[in-house]
């Protein structure tokens, strides 16, 4: 019976047999000369496992690339991660990069507007002199709301 997993199973069996031979060699080195060495056990002929056994976890875990995307074959052999409780504020690690802001807020949208360089410079200087951390987008929002209210 031939299957698409026969090559993988053969490699796993070979790895297991190699590990057993290494274990036997280590035991022979550590045993004293008075002890009669155990007879070598012949490697069993590979037997094709039933189809159900293919889905079970292999005897030795093959090395995988942690950055690689899982495929159908690797997704079946990898154990599912256990559910962990949601972290509390104190448990959360410090995040790197830009903090969450208006860009990721669904209530905001980005626009492009052309204003003169002189106006832009004057607004930036006024906001720096004000010193309360107000942003240009907040000034624009305020002006547009006033404009809408005036039109009603």
Give average pLDDT by consecutive 10-residue segment, the chain, 152 residues: 69 80 71 58 63 54 60 59 64 75 90 95 95 93 96 92
Which two tokens mark 50?
């039933």
Answer yes or no: is 74 within a domain: no
Query: What is the per-residue pLDDT for 47?
Result: 64
Answer yes or no: is 84 within a domain: no
Coil vs helix vs strand at 138:
helix
Q: What HEC string does 71-111 produce?
A: CHHHHHHCCCCCCCCCCCCCCCCCCCCCCCCHHHCCCCCCC
pTM over 0.75: no
Answer yes or no: is 89 within a domain: no
Answer yes or no: is 118 within a domain: yes
By the 8 A CB rule, do 49 and 9 touch? yes
State the Cα–Cα distance between residues 12 and 130, nearest whole angstrom: 70
**Which domain, by its residues, includes 24?**
1-32+41-61
Query: What is the per-residue pLDDT for 122?
Result: 96
Query: What is the per-residue pLDDT for 76?
Result: 59
Answer yes or no: is 67 within a domain: no
Query: What is the per-residue pLDDT for 60?
Result: 59
Answer yes or no: is 85 within a domain: no
Task: State CA 113 to chain mean position distance.
Answer: 39
Nearest Cα to Cα of residue 49 among 13, 18, 73, 92? 13
Structural domain count of the chain: 2
Answer yes or no: is 121 within a domain: yes
State the Cα–Cα distance between residues 20 and 36, nearest whole angstrom: 19
């Amino acid at each position: 019976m031939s299957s698409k997993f026969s090559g993988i199973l053969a490699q796993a069996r070979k790895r297991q047999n190699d590990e057993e031979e290494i274990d036997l060699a280590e035991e022979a080195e550590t045993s004293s000369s008075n002890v009669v060495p155990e007879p070598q056990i012949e490697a069993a002929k590979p037997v094709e496992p039933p189809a159900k056994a293919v889905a079970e976890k292999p005897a030795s875990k093959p090395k995988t690339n942690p950055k690689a995307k899982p495929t159908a074959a690797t997704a079946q052999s990898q154990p599912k991660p256990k559910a962990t409780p949601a972290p509390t504020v104190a448990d959360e690690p410090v995040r790197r990069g830009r903090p969450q802001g208006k860009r990721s807020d669904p209530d905001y949208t980005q626009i492009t507007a052309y204003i003169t360089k002189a106006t832009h410079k004057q607004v930036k200087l006024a906001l720096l002199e004000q010193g309360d951390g107000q942003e240009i987008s907040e000034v624009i929002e305020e002006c547009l709301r006033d404009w809408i209210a005036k039109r009603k």
